[in-house]
Amino acid sequence: MSYARSGQVSLYYEDTGTGPPIVFVHEYANDLRGWEAQVRFFSRWYRCITYNARGYPPSDVPENDDLYGQQQAADDIGGVLDHLGLDRAYLVGLSMGAAAALHFTMQHPRRVLGLVFASGGSGSDAASRERFIQEAQQAAQVFLDQGMQPFVDVMSYGPTRVQLLNKDPRGWEEFRRNLSEHSPLGAALTMRNYQARRPSLFEFEQQLRATPVPSLIIAGDEDDPVLETSLFLKKCLPASGLQLLPRTGHAVNLEEPAAFNAAVHDFFAAVERQRWGTRDPRAQANRSAMLPDTHTVSGTAP
């Protein structure tokens, strides 16, 4: 078994294939096993690195609250890169992992070849933020008091997970099994100190606009908690594209692996051919489609 050191924590990782490196960063309700369909596909052309976040065995499960959080999650990406001697890599993150990958990208843009931000941003928009925080805090206590199973039963039938059940019952059962095997302590401390305390992405508009890294934002159109944030990121990240998958929930890479892999593969190809630049200035939303640039939208036509 292979481990990378990040501060005081050892992170279990797997390394498959050769070529430009991709680091996959998993969501809260899964682990590196959730990237299997992507590793099998992308390892034909790329070096695929998956790892379990802190709190997810066989990675370490620290017992100190201070060792969990948004910054620690971002730093762990750097720890994996440093351990493997990689100056730069593509980052592909899902949900919690997407947030970690985005924060790492904002802090270390020169180390990121391209960012895939998938199904991220739950709890960021003002309308849902307070409820998200309260439910995260309550869920953390459930893990400590009752273990994983109550959460598994609720999460797997949740409004953004039933899509996977309807499309792929076998994959849904595998998702439930993986989730049930997580550490209740790791799940609780991650939920309490990362999920419940992470800042809203809407607080980072200035940093986002200053991050020119090529970025692909992917979301399912039935993943309501992330739609507003996904659109916000598209508007802010200067070299970004947004792709919505129809009739799809949260686990986009599990629900629609072929569409997800194709979109990411095309994105990587465009980046490598230098065909994924910043948004054309002529396409900016503040330009009028009816009046010359010398006039404002509210002005009168000559």
Q: What is the pLDDT of residues 24-60, one digit of tens each?
A: 999 999 999 999 999 999 999 999 999 999 999 999 9
* 227-256 tens-digit pLDDT: 999 999 999 999 999 999 999 999 999 999
Q: Where are the alpha helices (DSSP H) in the chain?
A: 36-42, 70-83, 96-107, 126-146, 149-156, 162-167, 169-180, 184-190, 205-209, 224-236, 252-255, 257-272
Say how far apart CA 167 and CA 39 lie, in whole Å: 21
The residue type found at 253 is N
Give yes or no for a contact between 50 and 61, defined as CB atoms under 8 angstroms apart.
no
What does the radius of gyration of the chain's CA atoms come to, in whole angstroms?
Answer: 20
Residue 25 neighbours by CB under 8 Å, 6+ apart: 51, 53, 77, 91, 92, 93, 94, 97, 98, 100, 101
Confidence of residue 300 (pLDDT cuts 50, 70, 90): very low
From the centroid of its chain, how far is CA 233? 12
Residue-by-residue DSSP string for 232-253: HHHHH-TTEEEEEETT--S-HH
Q: What are phi and psi of 10, to 5 degrees?
A: -100, 130
Q: What are phi and psi of 70, to 5 degrees?
A: -60, -45
Q: What residue ranges do the domains of the chain occupy?
A: 2-125+200-283
* 80-129 tens-digit pLDDT: 999 999 999 999 999 999 999 999 999 999 999 999 999 999 888 888 88
> Could you tell me which residues are beta bridge partners of residue 89?
112
Helices 149-156 and 169-180, axial angle in degrees (round to 10): 150
Is 258's pLDDT higher than 70? yes
Say how far apart CA 260 and CA 167 lie, in whole Å: 15
Is 2-125+200-283 assigned to CATH 3.40.630.10?
Answer: no
Against a cut of 0.85, is the pTM above it? yes
Token readout for 24 is: 């996959």
Query: Parallel, antiparallel, or unpaired for β 47-51 and 240-245?
Result: unpaired
Question: Mean pLDDT, to the nearest integer, of 7-16?
Answer: 97
Give yes or no for a contact between 96 and 195, defined as CB atoms under 8 angstroms apart.
yes
Say how far apart CA 106 and CA 70 lie, in whole Å: 13
Give yes or no for a contact between 180 and 80, defined as CB atoms under 8 angstroms apart.
no
Say how far apart CA 92 and CA 39 lie, in whole Å: 11
Q: Helix, strand, coil: what percent of the chain each, to 5? A: 50, 15, 35
Q: What is the pLDDT of residue 294?
A: 59
Is 179's pLDDT higher than 80? yes
User: For the purposes of burial, counting CB atoms within 10 Å of the CB of 242, is it exposed (0-12), middle (13-18) or buried (19 or more)?
Assistant: middle
